Every structure is written in structure tokens, then in C-alpha cells.
Structure 1
Amino acid sequence: MMTLEDFKAARSVLSGVIADTRLVYSPAFSKATGNQVYIKPENMQVTGAYKIRGAYYKISTLSPEEKERGLITASAGNHAQGVAYAAQAAGVKATVVMPTTTPLVKVNNTKDYGAQVILRGAVFDDAADLASQLAQAEGYTYVHPFNDPVLATGQGTIAYEIFSDLPEVDIILVPIGGGGLASGVATLAKLLNPGVKVIGVEPTGAASMKASLEAGHVVTLDKVETIADGVAVKTPGDKIFPYIQQNLDDIITIDDNELVDAFLDMMEKHKMIVENAGLLPIAALNHLDCKGKNVVPILSGGNMDVITVSSLVQHGLVGRGRVFTFSVQLPDRPGELVRVAELVAERNGNIIRLDHNQFVNINRQSGVELRVTLEAFGLVHKKEIMTALREAGYDAREVMTTSV
């Protein structure tokens, strides 16, 4: 059982261990949604994610014999760092099995905390299978990343802090993968105020909890496909599922392209790096059917490697029309390239790359291809530039691209 006394015990254990991630009011998201939005920045937590809460509390409850056997876990990254950090603090050996798709920053950070890392499989479930096998074969104590009410109790301490900073909170938005965070937060939130609404947020390509709630029991998806690697879970936790059924009010599913937009919003409006799983509640703000409410989206983590950051920025800029590429066929004579550049400049487009290909046609006299990549202010501005080119007699065509 996750009782109020359990949550109090977890809060006491975590005092002085976790960072004070106070709520941050967001003028931008409040204006955009018509609600009062206060961000819970667990991306600024120790180890870069909320997972330190559950891992540290769980390990604190283990017996000396359980610790002596050594710990093992499976994780897409954030739980791995939480276990490694807590194990190092307790002087306990830890082994972590992670999917091969885990961002490098999470792998390296886990190693830096002293854990042995094994990479196996494409998704969490593959890594979890090996971790279970090793636990049985080697006698390790298995610290599950989500399917454990004790661990979920540690995660749920977030709700204490939300109510402390904002007693009048109406809605809490929480990411869902296996369900540990959502079950803990929802259970404590309802104990503190039964009237608060707690909504889970899942990626459309990995909505295993939504499918389970609809079925009335835990189900396993055939596959998961999402850029939110931290919640790419085929099977939710059966031990924490009853808490989800009882305390979660609803689930919103989010497409991956919405996470790209949310990433840019967080970078530009709050100067924060938030990983894709943590962006789910930000994307969900646009799906709320309410106005004037106090809404708290929980940003679960911010552990993202530079390559992924670069990819999201580029996809986001392209998707918003702030960077685009067009192609035109030009007569092969002096001055044509300059004329195109002038048309773009007159409309405040900023050219960042040119590709002038004289060999696109066998007969160069019939035309050369010019590809131009430029910055614009957005989709409307992009349309104005393309219209101006066509009105000047150029058959300008946008070239689909995902790179800057």
C-alpha cells in the first residue's frame, strides 16, 4: 500500500538528498492556453531527472543482506542514473542494463556514478529481460524502474512540493511510461486533495497504459515507436496499475511532432533543455479543455545528448517554416543568381546556403538548378517569399528537408 505515512517517510529520507525544484510560472504557456501554468522542473533535479527520488528511497529500505548481494536494474537512462547515484552513496555495487538506443549522455553519466553498464536490446523491455535473468543467475537484488509501490512512493513526493508551492493547484500533468511516477504522484495528490485532477500523458506510439486502462488490465503492446525513449515501455507495471486505475483521472496521448514543437518552446521561452519524455506534459497543455485553471506540468527529466538536441532544433525550425529550402530552374547566364538573391533579400529572407548545379540537365543551356536554404520568420513569411519568386516568373518549388 502507498499510504500517507509511507509518503511522509519517503520525504524524510529524501530531505537533503534531492534538489529543491520550485515551481516556475510560465507567462508564455499561460497566455497561450488561457490557464495559469506553473512548471515543475525535475529536469533540474540531481542526476537530471525525478528518478533519483524513487531509487534512493527504495535502496534505503533494503536490508543489509539485499545490499550485500549487489543491485541490478534495467532502465532507458534516468532510473539507471538514480540507482547508480544512490548505490554509490550507499557503498553498494550496481549493474545497469540499458537499451542500445539510450542517449550517450545517460550511458556515460551512469558509468560516472560507478555502475557497470550493459547495453542490450532496442527498447526497455529487452533490457529488462536480461536484467531479470542476471538477477536470478547472479543473485542480485533487482530494483525495478517502475513496477514497485515503494519506488513509486519516492517518486510521488513530487506532489508534496507541488502543493507546498501552489496549494490551489487544479490539474497536474504527469508523463507515463511504466507508471511509477504517475501512480505515486496521483496517489499522494488525491490523499492531499481528492479534488485535484491528475492527468497522465503518453506518446501515441507507446500508449501502453492507455490501452491497459481501456482493457481493464495490464496489456503488452506489440511494439513501441516514439522519440520519447524514457517512456518507450511495452508493458506497464501490474503492481502499480491498481493505483493508476483508482487515482488517475485521464490520459492524453501526444504525437512525436508535438514534442518537437514543445522542445523549441522550452528552449526559447524558458531556456531549458528538457528530454522528450519530459516534454509530454508541455505538449499536453494544448489538449486541455479548460480555462483559468492552475496547471502544473511535471518536466520529468533533461538528460539529452547534443546530437539529439541538434536534431530536434533542426526539425523544429523546418516544421515551423523558420528554415526551408526551395529549388528553381535558372537560365545559364550571368546575373540570374543575383536576381533571386535580391528577391529574397527584399523580403527579409536570410540565405544560409546556396547550391548552384550546372549539371542537372544534359544541355546546360536549357537551365541550371539553384537550391537555396534560408531563414524566415515562420510559415506566413515563407509563403510570402515563395509567392514573390513565382510572381517574378520563377518556378520555385519547396524541397522537403529536415536539416538546416
Structure 2
Amino acid sequence: MITLNDIKDAKKRLENTISKTPLMKAPILSKEKNAEIYLKEDNLQITGSFKLRGAFNKVAMLDDAKRNAGVVAASAGNHAQGLAFAAQYFGCVATIFMPEATPLTKVTGVRSYGANVVLTGENFDEAYASAVKFAKENNKEFVHPFADDEVIAGQGTIALEVLDSINDIEQLIVPIGGGGLISGIAIAAKSINPNIKITGVVASGAKGMKESFEARMPIDSSSVRTIADGIAVRDVTPKLLDIILEYVDEVVEVSDNETANAILFLLEKHKLMVEGAGAVSVAAIMHDKVDIKNKKVCAIVSGGNIDVTMLSLIIEKGLIKSHRKMNLIVTLMDKPGALMKLTEIFTSCAANIVQIDFDRNSLKLEFGEAHVTIALETKGEEHQELIRENLKQQGFRFKQI
């Protein structure tokens, strides 16, 4: 059984190596939710994720023979970088198995710490099976991303840092994937203060741990699909479920849309680059999945390694949802001056055109017509309504998309 002393010992091993990440108050969120809300910003950790804590503690505790033999892991990102960093620090060889479709930026990030990367399999489960087989055949230490006592103890150091800074925190809100992070945090926090409330947050597209928590028995997800790829875990580990059942008070879920809203909020309001898995704790607060009124709470922002393509998509959708961008398809007569007449409306409404495409070949068009697809920068819902009214008054047929 992992104890508070194990976690305190892990904290000593991590000192002077990893970053003691900021614990910052979230003033806007605090005011909106009538609570005192803090963010533990482990997205600012050296490798961009809390995973470094557990991986480093694990490698630090290996004897010389096991270190010299090398370490092995299967990961699509954060655990891979954490283990690669730890292996480089201790001078041992790390071999990381990653799915073939892993983005190049993540592969490059792992290799930058000197690890050997093996791209294999169509998904994580296939890469995992290959990694376990390789480790066994070559007598190397396999480092599991969450189902490992030393890894869990390393993750629990986050709770010690939070409570060392603010000892009267009433509630910790923690992302859940495989359960290693929340297990370590919950053991540490409850051992120090049994009255502290521990809330876990899963993604709606990967809620095996929530269903297992409610059923009090392991229930694996039939499928996993979420933008929070760092917590997209299908199978529930019985040992971790037992810890969560003992130490965690509740488990809630957030949708991908709610997670995307939190990513954009953290980027705009707190200047924090946060991945989906790291943002679910804030999403739970923003969308009232947790009762925190008049409480002092801390949301664990666990990682910031978001793919830039995903970030671009989230920003685009966020701008549309907040009425700061407007996409229109307008039907014009295909004749000189028609497009100028349309753009004059946008000029009179002070709407900036950021993109425009012209199509006269669509089968949906009558002869002599054209479709113009336009993206506009707008200043809110009232501004968009003004644009729509002006288009109607001038007789334009259009559709907002």
C-alpha cells in the first residue's frame, strides 16, 4: 500500500530536478462561481506534464543493474517524455513504443531526450503489447504509465506542493485517465487532512473509471473517443479502482465541448496553453459539474502538450460560438459589381472580411448565379444580427454556417 511517507520520500527525490509548478488564483473564475479557486499549473512542468513526477521517481528507485539494462514504456505522449527525461538524467537507455499514427511533434519531443522510439501498431493497446513483450524478452524494466506504486507516489507530490502552499484547501479537482494521478493525490491529501474533498473528472468519451466508481467494480469502456487524449483510457485497473473507491469522494464527467471551452478560457484569460486532459478539471468548474460555492478549491491543470492542429480547431470553433466570427454562404447574381455591392454592406457594418471564396460551378446553383463563402470578424451577437438584417434589406439570399 502506498503511504504518505512514500510520497514524501518521492518529493525529496524530485527536489532540485523537476519544477515546483505555480499555484495561482483564478480571479475571473472565482468571481463567476463565488468561490476561491486556485490552479495548480503542472502544464508548466519541464516536459509539459505531471507525468515526469512519477517516471522520475520510478527510475530514481531502480538499482544500478536495472538502470543499466534500460527502461521501456508504451505511450502516445506525456509518459513517454517523462520517462525519456528521467532516463537521460540517470544515464540509462529508454525505449518508447508509440502508435504509428503518433504526431511527429510528440515523436520528436521524446527523441529530444535521447530515447529510442519504436513506432508500431495502429493504437495504444498494440504499442503497449509490443512494449511489454520487448521488455520481457530483453530483460528490461517496463515502466507502466499509472499502475505502478513508485509512479503513483511521484504523482502524489502535487498534493504536497498544493497543501504546503495553502493548507486550508477544502477540495481538489483532479483529471482521471488510468487513475495514477488522482490515486497519488488522494492518498497524500486525505492522509494530511481526512476532511478534504477529492473530486475526479473523466471525459464523457472515456468514462470507464466513472462507471466503475459508481458500480464499485471494474467496467472497461467499450470504446474511447475524446479530445482529451491524455485521459483516453479504455481499461480500468482493479488496484487503482480500489484506491479511488477508498479515497475519492465523487467522479464527474465533462463533454468534449465543455473541455474545449475550458482550453480556450485558460488560453485567453490565464495565458495558459493546456491540453484536453489538463483542462477537464477547469471544465468541471466552468460547467457546474461540482458544488464549490463559498469553498476554497484547487483544480489540477495536469498538462499542456496539445497538438497545434487541435488547438487551431478549438480556437476556430470558440470564436464562432462566442460570436466573434461569422461564416456565411451568400447567393449572388454572377455579374460585374455584384460582389462589390455585397462587400459594401460589410463595410457599412464595420465587419472585417478574413476569408472569401467564389463558386459558380455548384450543381445547386441556377444558371447565372454564384455562391460566395465569407468569413467575417464580428463583435458579438448584436453585431451579427445587424449584418443579417442589412443583407435581408438588400435582398441577398444567405445561410449562416
Q: TM-score interval w.r.t. the shorter chain?
A: over 0.9
Structure-1 residue corresponding to 2:109 = 109
The correspondence of residues 67-78 of structure 1 with structure 2, limited to 5 A, is 67-78=67-78
Q: Which amino acid aligns with 2:74?
A: A
Structure-2 residue corresponding to 1:45 = 45
Structure-1 residue corresponding to 2:125 = 125
Structure-2 residue corresponding to 1:341 = 343
TM-superposed deviation, 1:363: 5.7
Percentage of identical aligned residues: 39
TM-superposed deviation, 1:396: 1.8
Q: Which amino acid aligns with 1:290?
A: I
- What do you get for the CA RMSD once the two structures are aligned? 1.9
The worse-fitting range, judged by mean Cα deviation, of 7-16 and 301-310 is: 301-310
TM-superposed deviation, 1:117: 1.0
TM-superposed deviation, 1:252: 1.5
Structure-2 residue corresponding to 1:227 = 227
Alignment match of 2:397 (pick from 389, 395, 398): 395
2:370 is the counterpart of 1:351: no
- Distance of aligned partners of 1:377 and 1:171 in 2 relative to their CA distance in 1, 3 Å threshold: farther
Structure-1 residue corresponding to 2:273 = 273
Structure-1 residue corresponding to 2:327 = 325
Aligned residues, how many? Answer: 398
Structure-1 residue corresponding to 2:305 = 303
- Is this contact kept in 1: 2:22–2:42, CA < 8 A? no
Unpaired runs of 5+ residues, structure 2, are none
TM-superposed deviation, 1:364: 4.2
Write the distance in 1 (CA, Å) between the matches of 2:102 and 2:139. 26
SS at match of 1:167: coil
Structure-1 residue corresponding to 2:259 = 259
Structure-1 residue corresponding to 2:370 = 368
Write the distance in 1 (CA, Å) between the matches of 2:215 and 2:343. 59
Write the distance in 2 (CA, Å) between the matches of 1:66 and 1:73. 14
- Distance of aligned partners of 1:27 and 1:355 in 2 relative to their CA distance in 1, 3 Å threshold: same
Write the distance in 2 (CA, Å) between the matches of 1:100 and 1:123. 8
2:141 is the counterpart of 1:136: no
Write the distance in 2 (CA, Å) between the matches of 1:169 and 1:122. 43
- Is this contact kept in 1: 2:213–2:251, CA < 8 A? no
- Is this contact kept in 2: 1:76–1:123, CA < 8 A? no
TM-score normalised by length of structure 1: 0.93
Structure-2 residue corresponding to 1:402 = none
Structure-2 residue corresponding to 1:27 = 27
Write the distance in 2 (CA, Å) between the matches of 1:37 and 1:384. 38
Q: Deviations over 1:115-137 (max 9, x none)?
A: 11122334433322221111222
The correspondence of residues 192-211 of structure 1 with structure 2, limited to 5 A, is 192-211=192-211
Q: Deviations over 1:35-72 (max 9, x none)?
A: 22211110111111111111111111112222232111
SS at match of 1:239: helix
Q: Which amino acid aligns with 2:73?
A: T
The correspondence of residues 171-190 of structure 1 with structure 2, limited to 5 A, is 171-190=171-190
The worse-fitting range, judged by mean Cα deviation, of 26-35 and 274-283 is: 26-35
Q: Which amino acid aligns with 1:398?
A: Q
- Distance of aligned partners of 1:22 and 1:332 in 2 relative to their CA distance in 1, 3 Å threshold: closer
TM-superposed deviation, 1:380: 4.5
Q: Which amino acid aligns with 1:304?
A: I
TM-score normalised by length of structure 2: 0.93
